[in-house]
A = this chain, B = another copy of it.
Amino acid sequence: MSDKRRTTLKDIARALNLSPSTVSRALNSYPSLSDETIRQVKEYAEKHNYIPNTLAVNFRKNRTSILGMIVPEIVHHFFSTTISGAIETAKKQGYHVLVAQSGDTLEGEIFACRTMLGLGVDGLLISISNETVEGDHISDFLDEGKPVVQFDKITDHLKTPKVVVDDFDGAYNAVKHLIRQGYRKIAHLSGRMDVKNAHQRFLGYKKALEDHGLEFKDELVKNCIDISEKEGFNFTKELMNSLNPPDAIFCITDLVALGSMKFLQSSGYEIPAQVGLMGFSNWMLSDYTTPSLSSVDQHGDLMGSKATDILIDLIKNQELGKDTTVELKTELVYRDSSLKP
Residue from the list B84, B100, B229 in contact with A87, Cβ < 8 A: B100
Contact A320 B117 (CB under 8 A): no
Q: How far is the CB of A28 from chain B (nearest CB, A)?
A: 15
Contact B51 A118 (CB under 8 A): yes
Quick check: is A285 within 8 A (CB to CB) of the other chain? yes
Quick check: is A105 within 8 A (CB to CB) of the other chain? no
A51 to B137, CA, bound (A): 14
Per-position contact with B for A71-109: 1 when CB-CB < 8 Å, else 0? 001111100110110011001000011111100000000
Contact B145 A119 (CB under 8 A): no
Contact A118 B54 (CB under 8 A): yes
Q: How far is the CB of A96 from chain B (nearest CB, A)?
A: 6
Contact B2 A145 (CB under 8 A): yes
Quick check: is A64 within 8 A (CB to CB) of the other chain? yes
Contact B96 A97 (CB under 8 A): no
Give the residues from 284 to 341 in chain A that come closer than 8 angstroms, CB to CB, to chain B: 284-285, 288-290, 318-320
Residues of B within 8 A of A6 (CB): 144
Give the residues from 41 to 75 in chain A that come closer than 8 angstroms, CB to CB, to chain B: 51-56, 58-59, 62, 64-66, 73-75
Quick check: is A245 within 8 A (CB to CB) of the other chain? no
Are A55 and B58 also in contact (CB < 8 A) when A80-B74, A144-B2 are?
yes
Are A59 and B55 also in contact (CB < 8 A) when A83-B74, A265-B290, A318-B1 are?
yes
Are A258 and B288 also in contact (CB < 8 A) when A59-B56, A96-B119, A97-B98 are?
yes
Quick check: is A20 within 8 A (CB to CB) of the other chain? no
A117 to B66, CA, bound (A): 14
Residue from the list B3, B99, B143 in contact with A97, Cβ < 8 A: B99
Q: How far is the CB of A122 from chain B (nearest CB, A)?
A: 11
Residues of B within 8 A of A182 (CB): none
A287 to B298, CA, bound (A): 23
Contact A87 B75 (CB under 8 A): no
A319 to B115, CA, bound (A): 26
Residue from the list B51, B100, B288 in contact with A117, Cβ < 8 A: B51
A101 to B77, CA, bound (A): 16
Are A74 and B98 also in contact (CB < 8 A) when A118-B51, A258-B288 are?
no
A181 to B198, CA, bound (A): 45
A143 to B75, CA, bound (A): 34
| Cβ contacts A to B, 27 pairs, < 8 Å | A2-B143, A2-B145, A3-B145, A4-B143, A51-B117, A54-B118, A54-B119, A55-B55, A55-B58, A55-B59, A55-B62, A66-B98, A66-B119, A75-B77, A76-B80, A77-B77, A87-B100, A87-B101, A91-B115, A96-B100, A97-B98, A98-B98, A284-B284, A284-B285, A285-B288, A288-B288, A288-B289
